[in-house]
Copies of this chain bind each other. A is one copy, B any other.
Amino acid sequence: MRNVLRKKSGVSAPEGGGEVILGPGVTPPVPKSSYELRILQSIRRIIRAVEIHSHKLAQEHEITGPQLGCLLALAKGGPLTITHLARMVYQSPSTVVGIVDRLADKGLAVRQRGSKDRRLVQVCVTEAGEALIANAPSPLQETLAESLKNLPELEQVSITLALEKVVDMMEARKIEAPPVL
């Protein structure tokens, strides 16, 4: 049930409308640097687009985006350990475990304990997995891939570099300032 509403109902609707008129005291937004805001918003929209695409993939191809990503990494990089695979797809090992589970359930990949070091687990693609890859869609929106190709190369470069710059800034460790001298 979740007892929607009902408690804390002490706050009654002040006035009737569905339309909300902003009150006076609302802080003037101060759009940060404006660029920051637009970048934040773009990132959120990109994340959403990726997830929606993944859901469509799941419906049409029996595989999700992250699963396809791992499968492709395995196909390209040969048998990989969980940790190594996680590093390839930029995800936490604990996340990859679940993805490999589902890949294995579907018979697209298999696990093999290392014979030398029994802690290691080698994951590799099965024939079914390679068959799926053969006529699988792009892990990214087709529309993005197409639109990108139709752009002048100069702009492709520009976009690529801009994204990588954002990555650098986001992943930058905030360790500095030890001596401060």
Contacts and interface: CB of A to CB of B under 8 A. Distances in A.
Interface of A: 2, 4-5, 8-9, 11-13, 16-23, 25-27, 29, 32-33, 35-36, 38-50, 53, 69, 75-81, 89-91, 101, 104, 107, 110-117, 120-122, 124-126, 130, 133-134, 138-145, 147-149, 155-160, 162-172, 174
18 contacts: A9-B110, A11-B110, A13-B112, A13-B122, A16-B115, A18-B78, A18-B114, A18-B116, A18-B122, A22-B78, A35-B160, A36-B145, A43-B50, A44-B91, A45-B167, A143-B169, A158-B162, A159-B165
Contacts of A170: 45-46, 49-50, 53, 141, 143-144
Contacts of A91: 44, 48
A78 B162 contact: no
Contacts of A122: 13, 18, 20
Given A11-B110, A163-B166, A166-B163, A45 B147 contact: no
Contact of A124 (B13, B130, B159, B160): B13
Given A44-B89, A90-B45, A171-B45, A125 B157 contact: no
A145 B32 contact: yes
A52 B170 CA distance: 10
B169 A147 contact: yes
A13 to B, nearest CB: 4
A111 B20 CA distance: 14
Given A47-B47, A78-B23, A169 B142 contact: no
Contacts of A45: 90, 167, 170-171
A163 B41 CA distance: 10
